[in-house]
Amino acid sequence: MSVNNRGDINITLRKFYMKMIMCLLLVFCTVSAMADSVKDMCSDSDKICTCAASQLKSEVGEDDYGLYEAIGAAYIANQAKGMGMGDAWDAAVKAEASKRGSSSTKILSKTNSIGNAHRKAIKSCAG
């Protein structure tokens, strides 16, 4: 094998390893992005919050849980930007209502009832 061929092999291996590293980073970032804001909005232990999220999903169904989770993610992001709790939630509700072609009032009413069910689930799981 000539030096050029070895160099080509080394470059090919480096490209392969870089692609593998990028794939692993992509998987890691995707899994991190899949964090559940419903659990994140719960201030109890991880065990209680996981239980409550599961119980809530069973009670309200996938669609309403998805709505609550989407608004929760935006709410957390809004708070991270420095917004107060009420303003952060209202902005998240307004943005999600706009995405869904619904009124903020309708979405807020729905998330209020889901939030009540979430608090009950947390209490239930806390024993």
Residue-wise pLDDT for 52-106, tens only, equals: 999 999 999 999 999 999 999 999 999 999 999 999 999 999 999 999 999 999 9
Kindly report the backbone phi and psi dihedral angles of residue 38, in degrees, each rounded to the nearest multiple of 5, phi listed first. Answer: -65, -45
Give the least confident one: 21-30, 43-52, 70-79.
21-30
Q: What's residue 3's pLDDT?
A: 47
- Cα 3 from chain centroid? 50
Report the 10 Å Cβ neighbour count for 98.
Answer: 12
How far is the C-alpha of 110 from the C-alpha of 101, rounded, in Å?
15
Q: What's residue 13's pLDDT?
A: 62
Q: What's residue 19's pLDDT?
A: 65
Q: What's residue 36's pLDDT?
A: 86
Q: Is the dihedral of CA 87, 92, 98, 104 positive or negative?
A: negative
**How confident is residue 30, by pLDDT bands cut at 50, 70 and 90?**
very low
How far is the C-alpha of 9 from the C-alpha of 76, rounded, in Å?
48
Mean pLDDT of 36-64: 91
Of residues 15 and 22, more confidence is placed in: 15
Q: What's residue 41's pLDDT?
A: 87
Tokens linked to 109:
């009413």
Cα dist from 31 to 4, 28, 42, 47, 125, whole Å: 41, 5, 20, 19, 26
| Beta carbons of 93 and 109 less than 8 angstroms apart | no
How far is the C-alpha of 112 from the C-alpha of 59, rounded, in Å?
15
| Beta carbons of 101 and 61 less than 8 angstroms apart | no
Of residues 3 and 74, more confidence is placed in: 74
pTM over 0.75: no
